[in-house]
Amino acid sequence: MRELTPDTITDAVLDQMSATPDPRLKEIMACAVKHLHAFAREVNLTPAEWIKGIEFMTAVGRMCTPERQEFILLSDTLGLSALVNGLHDKTAIEEGTHTSLLGPFYREVAPNLALGSQISKHVKPGTECVLYGRITDINDKPIANATVSVWQTGADGLYDVQEGPGAVDYRGVFASDANGAYYLRTVKPLGYSIPMDGPVGGMVRAQARHGMRPAHIHYLVGAPGYRELVTALYLRDDPHLADDVVFGSSGDLAVDIDADDPDCPIKGLPSIRFDLKLARESAADKTSGRVGSDPSAILKPAAREGITTEAPAPAAS
């Protein structure tokens, strides 16, 4: 029998997992064990710290609901989501618009709206603006009938789901016209704090971080034959553009609100122009997925397998 010590335990675990039939699962789990064990050795992890970590992960899981995905929030605030997204970008066969994070507030169900529609049901005076642009390939050829899904906070800095389960607002799905153009009315987004009432918020506070995201509007854009684009525009004048708590912002996605744009398709309102370029789709794009998901969709596989969670009602944000 092998003598197990802090120096031999890793090889023992790897040997026991060596018969894993799925080669990709074998590779991922072997690397995970190696790095996890190396981490514990490097910091000389104590039993009390180990149980604190277990308690933290348990609390993160208990906070997850069909409306809230605390694990994605954890991944975002640790930069893991941005890292995986960057690795995914490297698989593209050509470079389109820079990507950004899907975020924890994406929903698969959103209203289909006609071009020019207002996505907000609650428009406060002085907050309305026009969002418009063109969808093209990397050679500026217009892409007609591209699906353009947008979602954002309202003028109060909250997403619809933070106002209550079942709420649908500040989001919509549009189709580009024959010239690849899209345009809609919305409200000026505000920078906001990530939810700080859960375990991830507690971690962020313990690290003396501000927890703020710069003002932004999310996009999910797709068209047959093209790689799905997950991105966002960011307001250039936001004070947290350079220190986004989830590492999603970038300079080439920063925009300004123009108070008097002669090209604005809806006159009399300030506007933001944001053009998007789609890369061609490759075979790998059909199976690689995206970094993020609708929280309710994540819980569906667990429900099919008989896994249940008991989550507390989210505190008001």
Q: Does the reported pTM lie above 0.75?
A: yes
Tell me the one-letter amino acid at 313: A
Q: What pLDDT is recorded for position 309?
A: 45
Q: What is the pLDDT of residue 154?
A: 83
pLDDT at 181 over 60: yes
Pick 149 or 308 by higher pLDDT: 149
Q: Which fold has domain 70-300?
A: Protocatechuate 3,4-Dioxygenase, subunit A (2.60.130)
**Beta-ladder partners of 272:** 131
Question: Nearest-CA neighbor of 232 among 190, 274, 183?
Answer: 274
Rounded to an integer, the average pLDDT of 10-23 is 97
Q: 315 pLDDT exceeds 70?
A: no
Q: Where are the domains of the chain?
A: 1-45, 70-300
pLDDT over threshold 90, residue 298: no
Q: Note the pLDDT of residue 87.
A: 92
Residue of higher predicted confidence among 92 and 287: 92
What pLDDT is attached to residue 243? 96
Give me the pLDDT at residue 312, please.
Answer: 44
- At residue 307, does pLDDT exceed 80? no
- pLDDT tens-digit readout, 183-195: 999 999 999 999 9
Q: Tell me what pLDDT residue 163 has.
A: 76
Average pLDDT, the chain: 91
Residue reference for tokens 């034959």 = 225
pLDDT of residue 147 exceeding 70: yes
> Which whole number is the average pLDDT over 27-35?
98
Say whether pLDDT at 257 is over 60: yes
Closest CA to 124 of 189, 42, 214, 77: 189
Task: Say if residue 3's pLDDT is above 80.
Answer: yes
Per the listing, tokens 């800095």 go with 157
Name residues whose C-beta falls within 8 Å of residue 273's C-beta, 6 or more positions apart in sequence.
132, 133, 255, 258, 261, 263, 264
Q: Does residue 266 carry a pLDDT above 90?
A: yes
Between CA 102 and CA 123 the distance in angstroms is: 24
Most confident of 165-174, 270-279, 287-296: 270-279
Question: Residue 254's pLDDT is what?
Answer: 97
Task: Output 158 or 275, whichever has higher pLDDT.
Answer: 275
Amino acid at 148: V
pLDDT at 178: 97
